[in-house]
Structure 1
Amino acid sequence: MVAGPKGHNIVYLVGHMPPGSHERQRGFPQAHAAHLVYTDYHNRKYLELVRKFADIIVGQFFGHLHSDTFRVIYGERGRPVSWALLAPSITPKRSSEGANNPGLRIYKFDKDTGQVLDYTQYYLDLSQANSKSKGEANWSIEYTFSSYYGISEITPNTLHQLADKLTAVNHNTFFDRYYTANSVKLYSNPHQSCDANCAHNHYCAITRVDYEEFAHCLKTAASALASSSFLVPVPNLSLIVLISILVISKV
C-alpha cells in the first residue's frame, strides 16, 4: 500500500476475522473475551493502517461472526474515513447470543474506479428447507442494500449516517430492518429479541471499532438504556452447509 498513491492503485482489504467487537456480545470487552477478535495492540495497529491509507482503501470485507453488519472507521478528528462490510456465512451459527440463516452475498462494483456500488444479499430459510421431505434448499433474495436502506452509494459518510439512524432508544424502522438482516432473516420481530440495551450494543460495535472507545460508548449510555438482558431462543438448525463463498460481480 505504500506504493499505492504514486501508482494510483486502489486496495480492497479482505479477511476472515474483522477488527473491533462482536455486536451480539453483551457487556464490556474487558469482561468478555469473546468481544476481542484481535489483541488490543493488533486492533489499534490495524486501525492506524486503515486511517493512514484511507484514500486508497476502497473497501474492507470480512466474515467470521456469521452475522450481517458493518463497521465505520473514523479519523482522529472524528470524520468517517473508511468502512467495512461483514457478510453472513453459508454455515449457520448456533450460539447463546443468537443464530442465523445461511447467507450468500454478491457485490457490484465499478470496474474502472473499483468503487463498491451495491450488493444483493441472498438467504436460505432453514426452517422451510428442513420442513420439506427432501430437504430441498431454495435460495431467495433477502434484500438489495441500496433499496433496503435507501442509500444511493456505499461510502464512509453514508454508512455513518445509517449508523446514526440506529441510535434511537426505542425501536425504529431502520434498526428493525438492520436487526432482521443481522440474523439473515431468522428473527423477524426485533421487538421481541433485542431491547434498547441490545440495540445500543450494536451501535457501539458498528461505530467504535477501537476497544477502549467501544467500552466508553457502552458506559456513556448505560444509564439511559434498559438494564434487562435476555438470551435469544435458538431454533433447531439441522440443515448444515459447510462452504462459505464471497462472490463479486463486475458491471
Structure 2
Amino acid sequence: MDWLYGKMADEWQDWVPADQKTQVIYNGCYMKQLFPGLRLISLNNALGDAVNFYLYINQTDPDGTMTWLLEQLEDAERNGDKVHLVAHIPGGDSEALEGWAINYYNAVNRYEDTIVAQFFGHTHSEEYYVVFEDPEDGKSRATGVIYSAPSLTPFSDYFPAYRIYTIDGNYQGSSFRVIDFEEYFLNLTVANANPDAPTKWESLYSSVKSEYGLSEISPTEWNNLIGRMLNDDTLFAKYIKNKYRQNGMVCGSKCKLEQLCTIRQAHHSDKLCSDLQLLAAEQGEQLITRKQVQLKKSDSNVEIKTKEEALNLYRNSVLPSQDKCKI
C-alpha cells in the first residue's frame, strides 16, 4: 500500500509530525501531541470495512493497526494524557466487520478515562453512538460516545452540512472534552432554484446542548437522550430533521425504534436493543437492526489470486445489509 499511504504522507507532511511519517506510510495512522496533556490519534480503520478484499485473506488485525492503537492508548494513559480519536467508519455501521468493531469497542471501554472524544464520518448523517460498559446490555453504564458528523456530499438523502466543535481549551487541568457543537447546512432546494445567488449556509442549530436539552456533553446525557426521544415524539422529530438537515422526513413508530436502536449499536449486537425489540413486538412489528457483516467460516482462509475472485467471494459471503430505516 506504499503507493497510497506514501502519497498521503507527502500530502499531510505540513501537519503530521516527521517522526510519524513512517507510520503513515505503513498503515495510514499517526499520533500527534496537540498540547501538553492532549494527543490526537488518527486511526485508519479501512481494514475494518467489509468491502476491503484484503480481509478475506486475514481478518485478525492484518496490518497491526489495532495493536498500534492499543499501544498508543497505553502510552497515553501511562503519561496521564487525554486522547482525541479520529477515524472513518463507526463500528456499528453495517459495513464494518464485527471483529474490528468489538475490538475497538473493548478498547474504548478499557481506556474510557483516556479517550475523551471520538470523531467519525462515513454515514453522511448527523448521528451518534453510545458505548456501554457491558457490550451486550444497552441498559448498562454509558462509557463513551462516538460522534458521526454530517457530510458535505448530499448523497443520498441529505443537505450538505458541517459541524464546529467547542473543546475545553489548553490550560492546566483541562479536560479537553467536547463542551458543545454547532452545525450549518446548505439548502440545496433553494440553492438549485437560484443558481446565480451567493451560496448561503444556514444555521441548523447554534448549540447542541440547547437543541436537545442536554445538561452537559457526556455519554450519560447522550444515553439519557435516547430514553427521552423514546417518550417524546416532538424531540425525536427534531433529531430526524437534524439527521437529514431537512424537514418533511417521515419516520413512524417502527422506524423510530430502529433509529434509537442504531444509536445503541456501536457494535453489532441485537441484545443492546432488547427492550426496544419488546416494544416493537407489542406493536406487532419486528425491528430491522444493524446486522454484522460476516464471512463464511469455510472461506476465511481462501487464497485469492485475482480481483474477480475477491468480488465473487464478497458477493457470496456477505450478509445483506439492512441498516437503513426507510424514511
TM-score (norm 2): 0.59
Task: Write the letter of the residue equivalent to 1:154.
Answer: I
Q: Contact 2:91–2:98 at 8 Å: present in 1 too?
A: no
Q: Against the structure 1 CA distance between its residues 226 and 198, is the aligned structure 2 distance closer, same or farther, given a 3 Å change threshold? A: farther
1:174 to 214, 229, 235: 235
Aligned to 1:183: 244
Aligned to 2:199: 137
The CA distance in 1 between the partners of 2:75 and 2:262, in whole Å, is 32
Q: Is there any run of 5+ residues in structure 2 with no aligned partner, and where?
A: 1-72, 289-324
Task: Find the residue that maps to 1:177 and give its secondary structure.
Answer: helix
The CA distance in 2 between the partners of 1:206 and 1:231, in whole Å, is 16
Bigger Cα displacement from structure 2, 72-81 vs 49-58: 72-81
Bigger Cα displacement from structure 2, 110-119 vs 121-130: 110-119
Q: Verify: 1:60 aligned to 2:122, yes or no.
A: no
Aligned to 1:72: 130
The CA distance in 2 between the partners of 1:51 and 1:19, in whole Å, is 14
Task: Find the residue that maps to 2:100 and give its secondary structure.
Answer: helix
Q: Give the paired residue count.
A: 208
Task: Find the residue that maps to 2:229 and give its secondary structure.
Answer: coil
Q: Contact 1:197–1:226 at 8 Å: present in 2 too?
A: no
Q: Against the structure 1 CA distance between its residues 201 and 145, is the aligned structure 2 distance closer, same or farther, given a 3 Å change threshold? A: same
Q: Contact 1:92–1:102 at 8 Å: present in 2 too?
A: yes
How far the C-alpha of 1:135 sits from its partner, in A, is 5.4
Aligned to 1:151: 214
Question: What whole-Å deviation, never above 9, does each CA across 1:100-136 have from its counterpart, x for those lacking one?
Answer: 1000100001123211100010000000000104153
The structure, 1 or 2, with the larger RCO (C-alpha pairs under 8 Å, 6+ apart) is 1
1:15 to 87, 103, 106: 87
Greater percentage in helix? 2
Bigger Cα displacement from structure 2, 38-47 vs 76-85: 76-85
Q: Against the structure 1 CA distance between its residues 103 and 226, is the aligned structure 2 distance closer, same or farther, given a 3 Å change threshold? A: farther
Question: What whole-Å deviation, never above 9, does each CA across 1:112-163 have from its counterpart, x for those lacking one?
Answer: 3211100010000000000104153200111020111111321011101111
Bigger Cα displacement from structure 2, 49-58 vs 4-13: 4-13
The structure that has the greater radius of gyration is 2
Q: Contact 1:73–1:80 at 8 Å: present in 2 too?
A: yes
Task: Write the letter of the residue equivalent to 1:161.
Answer: N
How far the C-alpha of 1:219 sits from its partner, in A, is 4.0
Aligned to 2:226: 163
Aligned to 1:92: 154
C-alpha RMSD of the superposition? 2.2
Q: Against the structure 1 CA distance between its residues 123 and 226, is the aligned structure 2 distance closer, same or farther, given a 3 Å change threshold? A: farther
Bigger Cα displacement from structure 2, 41-50 vs 206-215: 206-215
Q: Is there any run of 5+ residues in structure 1 with no aligned partner, and where?
A: 22-35, 233-251
Aligned to 1:2: 74
Task: Write the letter of the residue equivalent to 1:175.
Answer: F
Q: Contact 2:255–2:326 at 8 Å: present in 1 too?
A: no
Q: Contact 1:11–1:57 at 8 Å: present in 2 too?
A: yes
Aligned to 2:145: 83
Question: What whole-Å deviation, never above 9, does each CA across 1:8-55 have from its counterpart, x for those lacking one?
Answer: 11111111111103xxxxxxxxxxxxxx22111111111111111111
Question: What whole-Å deviation, never above 9, does each CA across 1:217-241 have from its counterpart, x for those lacking one?
Answer: 4643331346499844xxxxxxxxx
Runs of 4+ deviating beyond 2 Å: 212-222, 224-232
The CA distance in 2 between the partners of 1:165 and 1:158, in whole Å, is 10
The CA distance in 2 between the partners of 1:181 and 1:13, in whole Å, is 24
Task: Write the letter of the residue equivalent to 1:172.
Answer: D
Aligned to 1:113: 175
Q: Against the structure 1 CA distance between its residues 136 and 224, is the aligned structure 2 distance closer, same or farther, given a 3 Å change threshold? A: farther
Q: Verify: 1:42 aligned to 2:100, yes or no.
A: yes
The CA distance in 2 between the partners of 1:231 and 1:203, in whole Å, is 14
Q: Against the structure 1 CA distance between its residues 172 and 86, is the aligned structure 2 distance closer, same or farther, given a 3 Å change threshold? A: same
